[in-house]
Amino acid sequence: MAASARAHELALAAAQAAADKKAQDIVIIDVTDKFAITDAFVIASAPNERQVQAIVDAIEERLVDLPEKAKPARREGERAGRWVLLDYVDVVVHVQHAEEREFYALDRLWKDCPTIPFVDRDLVEAEAGAAE
């Protein structure tokens, strides 16, 4: 069973919001078959706490602006700014400081799960402009 259409919508919107704020190594993992309480994880990292918070703010703003507004049911880790978790029920977003990302290695923990393709639209537009 694959992630729901709503989970795809939320995950892709969160990933693009993170990319717009220069998040690094953005990955969307479909955990539907392994994890009963959510469909997907969005994992992104940043080199410092200030950028982690900027990415989190951008994700929250983008998801609340969707036609079917989404607000996190739960938010963890904001004070320290090293690993912030936003729980949107269908999708859980992890924004981690690069050191936490490397140490906790969520990507490796869930490596048996399929990923949901994400391509930063700004990169696509830049490549299209360079080809002209």
Model pLDDT for residues 41-51, shown as the tens digit of each residue: 999 999 999 99
131: buried, middle or exposed (CB in 10 Å: 19+, 13-18, 0-12)?
Answer: exposed
Which listed CATH number (3.30.450.20, 3.30.465.10, 3.10.105.10, 3.30.460.10) goes with 5-131? Answer: 3.30.460.10
Secondary structure of residue 52 in the 3-state scheme: helix
Q: What are the tens digits of pLDDT across the range 18-77?
A: 999 999 999 999 999 998 899 999 999 999 999 999 999 999 999 999 999 999 999 999
> What is d(CA 45, CA 56) in angstroms, rounded to the nearest whole number?
11
* Least-confidence region, from 46-50, 75-79, 96-100, 115-119: 75-79
Helix, strand, coil distribution of the chain in percent, nearest 5: 40, 25, 35
Strands 83-87 and 91-97: antiparallel
Global pTM? 0.90
pLDDT tens for 73-86 read 999 997 788 999 99
For 83, counting Cβ atoms within 10 Å of its Cβ (0-12 exposed, 13-18 middle, 19+ buried), the class is buried
* Sign of the CA dihedral with 16 first, then 95, 39, and 76 last: negative
For position 128, what pLDDT does the model report? Answer: 64
